[in-house]
Structure 1
Amino acid sequence: MKRLLSFRTAAPLALLPAALILLPQAALAHPGHGPAMGAEAGFLHPLLGTDHVLAMVAVGLLASLRGGRALWALPLSFLALMGVGAGVGMAGVALPHVEVGIALSIVAFGLAAIVGLRAPVALLAALVGVFAVFHGFAHGAEMPETASGLSFGFGFLAATALLHAAGIGLGLATTRIGATRAAPALGACLAAAGLALLALPA
């Protein structure tokens, strides 16, 4: 009975990524879809793109599943390398296949959750950091070269940190209710969502 209750509790959590991918804003939060002015715009920028939301929550989920130092190392790696990517985008340097890289990040993080990746924390931090560059570039390409651009940067970093925290909370919740199969189910939904984004027309 307890196992059945855990499954019923975990099932909606596992379907969350799949539900998000169906939202209208799934069409991307990338360069060219509106002005970027100030901290409020920066904070909203990751939240208005399902691809960003899924990837950033997935980083927190992976950190929670790995535990230990990963709880802070993975989110910090993502935030730091996202800042680097934002700087590259703001400088006008070309980075090819940004949207593909963002969608692939969701697939990679989802697959990692499916297989219960127990790789060294440093390797996981490097994995999320590489993909974070693409996310940061998408934000930085819209940052104005003014003080409001700096505020915009702080805004999207804050939103990203909150999404990481949400992912960590999601992972802890599935562990607490004893839903041992929830993590692979969540990972499968994330990977499927990433593949769906890859299939979207450019």
Structure 2
Amino acid sequence: MKQGLNIFIAILLAFPSLVFAHEIDGAGGFTSGFSHPVLGFDHLLAMLSVGILSAQMGGKAIWKVPATFVVVMLFGGVLGMKGIDFISVELGIVFSVLALGIAIAANKQLPAFVAMIFVGFFAIFHGHAHGTEMPYLAEPMLYALGFVVGTAVIHIAGVVIGSTLVKFKGGQQLLRLLGAGISGVGFHMLVM
């Protein structure tokens, strides 16, 4: 089992283009929208990181930080749907993986407002990537609902991971190592 996971991770690291979710498959409903953040490794890592970061912060940040990401992502989606161009959306998404991983690894208690601005900045890029695909899809509202629900599910998974690990002895250290790993994957995506 562990060897299979190691092979899977090695393949993703060797071929980072496999992890980007920004291809249109012709379908356009809820399932397509839901699968975009879930199956796109770059989105998945960034959104898990938002949940983990909010769990590290604790308190009201557990829901405020991920909620900010979702709301700002929707705004970015509207901008993408309207055809408002951004410079290097892919680079912004990849940089979000790197930066969020570093934030988890640093384990610094940011004020919730600062964390909300931090994740909101990256959410625009994630939303824009989703939004640029919506006009070409048959059911854009269902697609949008799908990517919002997919994002929320990933955030919740990150919160569960973070909240569970902080309860155990050595859990914070494990989260820091996880953050370092996520930032390493982000760095690899950035240079490839």
Asked if these proteins are the same fold (TM beyond 0.5), I'd say: yes
CA contact (8 A) 1:35 1:142 kept: no
Q: Which moved more, 1:176-185 or 1:156-165?
A: 176-185
2:90 — aligned with what?
99
Q: Secondary structure at the match of 2:92?
A: helix
1:22 — aligned with what?
12
TM-score (norm 1): 0.84
Task: Return the offset for 1:117.
Answer: 2.0
Render the CA deviation track for 1:89-114: whole Å, top value 9, x for unaligned: 11111111111100111111111111
CA RMSD of aligned residues (A): 2.3
Structure 1 position 129 matched with structure 2 position 120: yes
Structure 1 position 55 matched with structure 2 position 46: yes
2:151 — aligned with what?
160
1:148 — aligned with what?
139
2:179 — aligned with what?
187
Count of residues in Structure 1 that have an aligned counterpart in Structure 2: 185
CA contact (8 A) 1:106 1:190 kept: yes
The verdict on how the C-alpha distance between 1:119 and 1:20 changes in structure 2, with shifts beyond 3 A counting, is: farther
C-alpha separation in 2, matches of 1:27 and 1:20:
12
Render the CA deviation track for 1:83-140: whole Å, top value 9, x for unaligned: 0110011111111111110011111111111111212100101100010000001111
For structure 1, the 5+ residue unaligned runs are: 1-11
Render the CA deviation track for 1:131-187: whole Å, top value 9, x for unaligned: 000000111110037771011000000000000001001111212232231111011
Identity rate, percent? 37
CA contact (8 A) 1:59 1:128 kept: yes
